[in-house]
Structure 1
Amino acid sequence: MATFLERDSGWIQAKVRRKGYPSQSKSFKTKTAAEVWARNVESAMDKGSFVSTSLAENTTLSEIIVRFLTEFAPYHYRQREDKRESWRFECQHLDIFLGKYSIAALMPQLIAKYRDERLKKVSGATVRKELNMLSKVLTVATQEFGIPLPAGNPLPRIRKPKGGKARDRRLTAAEWFALEHECRSSRNPWLWPGVQLAVETGMRQGELLQLRWKMIDRTRCLALLLDPAKLKTEEPRAVPLSKSALMVLDLLPSNDQEDAILPVGKTTLYHAFIAACKRANIDDFTWHDLRHEALSRLAERGDLSLFEIATVSGHKTMQMLKRYTHLQAENIAKKLG
């Protein structure tokens, strides 16, 4: 049966005790609201459909994220280090904006507000990844941690942002000069070498960060990415190294063949890069845009086929490289006169 107790604060605490169920209690501003809640709980218990909401109401998303990253994620990551890092990175943003709320309070309206605020700062693809991560975290909370959500997982009811068109941001000569100056001035000694290697090789950030000295074949001028479990495409490949790329490598310390060429974490590199762009007054430029710059430069050379560019980039299909065909066409037009 239900009992009601007026607290010193004036709030009414409703408590429902029923054999076979743990005691349920909740406080309300009015006795009417408390009675409505108690009747609903008792009715659900009578029908055998009662699901306790107290755990969800008293557990914040921040607490669930900690458990997700420590108890669940380490045993369910894919092997790629950059994928493990991206899970932590996405959870970090979710925690900053939504961590203070109980998981029971994560209603569609609140998540939609988060989506819209994030879209002002990052791409639709990034927001979509974060929303998918939030859905994963809440699913784990329910299925693995035994914390049922009163209204179920809200993410299927949220409109996801569209991916949008492929980015085509390239820096002007003046912006490159400013970026180089700020990267060289950064307290992070790996920032400028990382930027140089990204532009000279076209490698993804995760590929650069997992590079070890033993993976560099100087005789054949190749970077050997041979562990498919650590690659986005899950296929090994050899990346040609230009003379400029080799010169960058020559300036870096190489004490042990097992050492990372760029011994820095993804998050640290991200913050250093964003800070350098901000100091250089460069807007709307991401680390992945460096890869676009690298492939654009290769296409502009005019002496490489799309197949050869794909060998450098690691794209599985030519469809992904069609965006660079107009650059090759421009060079052909110049040759035709």
Structure 2
Amino acid sequence: MATIWKKEFKNSKGKDEVRYLARVRRKGHKPVSKTFKRKGDADKWARDIESEMDKGVFVSREEAEGTTLTEAIDRYIKEYIQTRLKHPKRETDRANAIRSRDISKLFLARIRGKEIAAFIKEREKEGVSGNTIRLDLALLSKLFEVARRDWGMESLVNPTKLVHKPKAGQGRTRRLEKGEEESLLEKAADRFKPVVLFALETAMRRAEIAGLDWGDVDLKGSSIYLGETKNYEERTIPLSPRAKDILKGLPRNISGSVFGLSADQITGYMRRTVKTAKLHDLRFHDLRHEATSRLFENTDLDTMEIKMISGHKSMQMLARYSHLRANRLAERLAGAKR
């Protein structure tokens, strides 16, 4: 049976306020209570809870209504990200960034599609890309699913499934124009030049190049092994003759690092070199796009083989390179062999 108490008190400003505490007791269930500003809301809530208990479909909302997103993120980092992900740093950083926002102050049960939509608009106003927002939403979606399945908050609705997500961006398409590679290499410092050449030859990411150790290099087998990648997937990259020559020309240092540069140092060298060479809007990641484009243009490797080299997560991500082979497809339609 439901019981409702009227509670009168003075708020922090000394003004009189009223709250209504509704409590429902049913045999076989723990007592459930909730406080409301209006008695009508308390009555309706109590009737709904009693009806669910009578039908045998009641699921306690108490934990979801008493846990903020901040608290849930802390628990998610500790119990899920840090224990189940092979490379937790990036997801931890993303979770903590969301944790610093106003939405994290809300109780989980209070977060609906409206609040998620407001979060998306807030991010868009900041100029964040659609891809980044989608990654934020993916983390929130996973958190809500973990809360429902593993934390006993079955009453939760995953609010990220109720909103229209921003479109995934097409990504940068900046390629090296005529003479830019020569200018870049001419102005590059001696220790940075082989990094540029290797990136153009292998399509490797900045972090992958920075993290490459000599123990991962098999010159005899013409390959390198990457145990840590952006997609959390191991991969082995075949080395072209030119890539092998670049590696053979490098000195060995005591740290075991192939290039002896961190990811941030690579970015710093790239920015200084681009500025000195007077190039416009060229980033290190553009070298990966250039290298992948060249694999499509200058080799007969099929898309799956290129995917194995570049480490793109899906075939769809490589679809934007397909136009680079339109002329070869036309030649094969005319009878030319692969």
Q: TM-score normalised by the shorter chain: which range applies?
A: 0.5 to 0.7
2:149 to 143, 146, 149: 143
Larger radius of gyration: 2
| Aligned residue-pair number | 308
Q: Please say if residues 44 and 50 of structure 1, whose CA atoms lie closer than 8 Å, have aligned partners that are also in contact.
A: no
**Alpha-carbon distance between aligned partners in 2 of 1:175 and 1:164, rounded to the nearest angstrom:** 26
Task: Give the 5 Å matches for 1:79-94.
Answer: 79=86, 81=87, 84-94=88-98
CA pair 103-270 structure 1, distance change in 2 beyond 3 A: farther
Q: For residue 107 of structure 2, what is the amino acid of its counterpart?
A: S
Length-normalised TM-score, structure 2: 0.67
**Alpha-carbon distance between aligned partners in 1 of 2:112 and 2:248, rounded to the nearest angstrom:** 50
RMSD of Structure 2 on Structure 1 (CA): 4.8
**Alpha-carbon distance between aligned partners in 2 of 1:172 and 1:122, rounded to the nearest angstrom:** 28
Q: For residue 8 of structure 2, what is the amino acid of its counterpart?
A: E
Task: Give the 5 Å matches for 1:6-17.
Answer: 6-9=8-11, 10-17=16-23
**Alpha-carbon distance between aligned partners in 2 of 1:61 and 1:249, rounded to the nearest angstrom:** 52
Q: Is 1:293 matched with 2:290?
A: yes
What whole-Å deviation, never above 9, does each CA across 1:223-257 have from its counterpart, x for those lacking one?
Answer: 234x5x96849574333166578657966763255
Length-normalised TM-score, structure 1: 0.67
Q: Please say if residues 224 and 239 of structure 1, whose CA atoms lie closer than 8 Å, have aligned partners that are also in contact.
A: no
Provide the identity percentage: 30
Cα distance, 1:263 vs. partner? 7.7
Cα distance, 1:140 vs. partner? 1.3
Q: Is 1:60 matched with 2:68?
A: yes
Structure 2: stretches of 5+ with no match in the other structure: 329-338
Q: For residue 3 of structure 1, what is the amino acid of its counterpart?
A: W
Q: Is 1:313 matched with 2:310?
A: yes
**Alpha-carbon distance between aligned partners in 2 of 1:270 and 1:148, rounded to the nearest angstrom:** 47
Q: For residue 63 of structure 1, what is the amino acid of its counterpart?
A: E
1:38 to 28, 42, 48: 42
**Which residue number in structure 2 is paired with residue 158 of structure 1?**
163
**Which residue number in structure 1 is paired with residue 123 of structure 2?**
118
- Helix, strand or coil for the counterpart of 2:30? coil
Q: For residue 203 of structure 1, what is the amino acid of its counterpart?
A: M
Segment of structure 1 superposing worse, 196-205 or 165-174 = 165-174
CA pair 314-15 structure 1, distance change in 2 beyond 3 A: closer
**Alpha-carbon distance between aligned partners in 1 of 2:93 and 2:251, rounded to the nearest angstrom:** 27
CA pair 194-61 structure 1, distance change in 2 beyond 3 A: farther
- Helix, strand or coil for the counterpart of 1:11? strand
Task: Give the 5 Å matches for 1:239-278.
Answer: 239-240=238-239, 243=242, 247=246, 254-255=253-254, 257=256, 269=264
**Which residue number in structure 1 is paired with residue 79 of structure 2?**
71
Q: For residue 290 of structure 2, what is the amino acid of its counterpart?
A: E
Cα distance, 1:4 vs. partner? 1.2
Q: For residue 46 of structure 1, what is the amino acid of its counterpart?
A: E
Task: Give the 5 Å matches for 1:98-109.
Answer: 98-109=103-114
CA pair 107-306 structure 1, distance change in 2 beyond 3 A: same
What whole-Å deviation, never above 9, does each CA across 1:91-113 have from its counterpart, x for those lacking one?
Answer: 23432433333323322122112
- Helix, strand or coil for the counterpart of 2:105? coil
- Helix, strand or coil for the counterpart of 2:10? coil
Cα distance, 1:156 vs. partner? 1.5
Cα distance, 1:214 vs. partner? 0.5
- Helix, strand or coil for the counterpart of 2:64? helix
2:137 to 131, 134, 146: 131
**Alpha-carbon distance between aligned partners in 2 of 1:6 and 1:283, rounded to the nearest angstrom:** 67
Q: Please say if residues 204 and 288 of structure 1, whose CA atoms lie closer than 8 Å, have aligned partners that are also in contact.
A: yes
